[in-house]
Structure 1
Amino acid sequence: MMNYFELYNLPEQFEIDLIKLKDHYQTLQKLTHPDRFASASEQQKRMYLTKNSQVNDAYSVLKSPISRGEHLLIVRGVKLPSEQDTVGDIEFLMEQMEWRETLDDATSAQALEKLVVDNHEILVKQEKIISAFLSHNREQDNQAAAQELGKMKFMVKLADEIETKLDRITDS
């Protein structure tokens, strides 16, 4: 497995400089873009196409907090839990059910916009929690971060559902 932090010459940590990431991306894109190698051999073209694809994949992973956190855990040798394993947190399960009910009951743009704000606040807190766990490379912290990343995935999915419902209401 390729270490995307190494590819981008970034420290292996959850908190990264997104501006630096973008700068590295643009530089690597220029260096590996297939158009630069139009006159190269077919083998060289394939190699640079593969490199360019890796640059794009790495950028996509590193710019997203969830996939960056998961990649960091994988680099650290942590096995990520399945979605069913995340469901072991009964308190979080209850919160999920409440969120779903609130979303189902929301019929106005105002109610949905409040859900968007509340969800965003939770995502910001979640990212801070994950960052704190991942600032140490200890087994228990890595496992806790993996669980929190699973919860964050749910909240991101919920945010998408809220936005979809809000779009439907405001478009009609």
Structure 2
Amino acid sequence: MQNHFELFQLPQRFTLDTTALDQAYHEVQNQTHPDRFVNATAAEKRVAMQWTTRANEAYQILKSPFKRAAYMCELNGVALQAESNTAMPAAFLMQQMEWREMLDDARAGKNLEALEQLDRELRAARRADLQHIGALLDAGDFEKAAQFVRQLMFLEKFGEEISNAFAILES
């Protein structure tokens, strides 16, 4: 079975041409569109639907830098073990604690400006981590990249908490 990169005939690299991804996705969608299978057998329609579903899933994974990084690690035999491998560098854990305190303070004080500052810091940290992960993946260091992907998982979840706090403060 083809991997997601092969499905769209793209190089298996983290650094991805998103325009090429979009074009390849639309080509696959056009080939498997239900209108092309109006007179097909039930089995042919089912296969086309399976391809459409697979293309949708592959596209969502490759389009998201975070999901693409996790996929590349797993594709290269490095399981993220996110549930069992939660060891993080001390500096990262300290940063997490500081950000959590900032979030708690912003919520308690209904301080939108502090929440916006925290959001900017988190976005910058995520961008930096993604750049680092991309460099590691493109260099073939999947083990080290997986460590940073696990770290990025924490940042993604924390980003959701910040979004929720915005929604509450702005309502």
TM-score by length of 1: 0.91
The answer for the alignment partner of 1:149 in structure 2 is: 149
Whether contact under 8 Å (2:32, 2:52) holds in the other structure is yes
Using the TM superposition, give the Cα deviation of residue 36 of structure 1 relative to its aligned residue in structure 2, in angstroms. 1.8
Q: Tell me how far apart the structure 2 counterparts of residues 7 and 63 of structure 1 sit (CA, whole Å).
A: 14
Q: Percent identity?
A: 37
The 3 A distance-change label for structure 1 pair 83 and 147 is farther
The answer for the alignment partner of 2:94 in structure 1 is: 94
Whether contact under 8 Å (2:61, 2:68) holds in the other structure is yes
Using the TM superposition, give the Cα deviation of residue 2 of structure 1 relative to its aligned residue in structure 2, in angstroms. 4.1
Using the TM superposition, give the Cα deviation of residue 83 of structure 1 relative to its aligned residue in structure 2, in angstroms. 3.5
Q: Please give the residue correspondences for 1:115-126 in structure 2 after superposition, counting only pairs within 5 Å.
A: 115-126=118-129
User: In structure 2, what residue type is equivalent to 1:130?
Assistant: I
Q: Tell me how far apart the structure 2 counterparts of residues 116 and 130 of structure 1 sit (CA, whole Å).
A: 21
Q: Tell me how far apart the structure 2 counterparts of residues 58 and 29 of structure 1 sit (CA, whole Å).
A: 12
Runs of 4+ in 1 over 3 A off after TM superposition: none
Using the TM superposition, give the Cα deviation of residue 158 of structure 1 relative to its aligned residue in structure 2, in angstroms. 1.1
Q: Please give the residue correspondences for 1:11-50 in structure 2 after superposition, counting only pairs within 5 Å.
A: 11-50=11-50
**RMSD value, Cα:** 1.4
Whether contact under 8 Å (1:81, 1:147) holds in the other structure is no
Match of 2:116 among 110, 113, 116: 113
Q: Could you list the runs of 5+ residues in structure 2 that have no partner in the other structure? A: none
My pick for the range that moved more, 78-87 or 118-127, is: 78-87
Using the TM superposition, give the Cα deviation of residue 88 of structure 1 relative to its aligned residue in structure 2, in angstroms. 3.8
Write the deviation string for residues 116-146 of structure 1: whole angstroms up to 9, x where unpaired. Answer: 1111111110111101111222xxx211100
Q: Could you list the runs of 5+ residues in structure 1 that have no partner in the other structure? A: none
Q: Tell me how far apart the structure 2 counterparts of residues 17 and 7 of structure 1 sit (CA, whole Å).
A: 15
Q: How many residues align?
A: 168
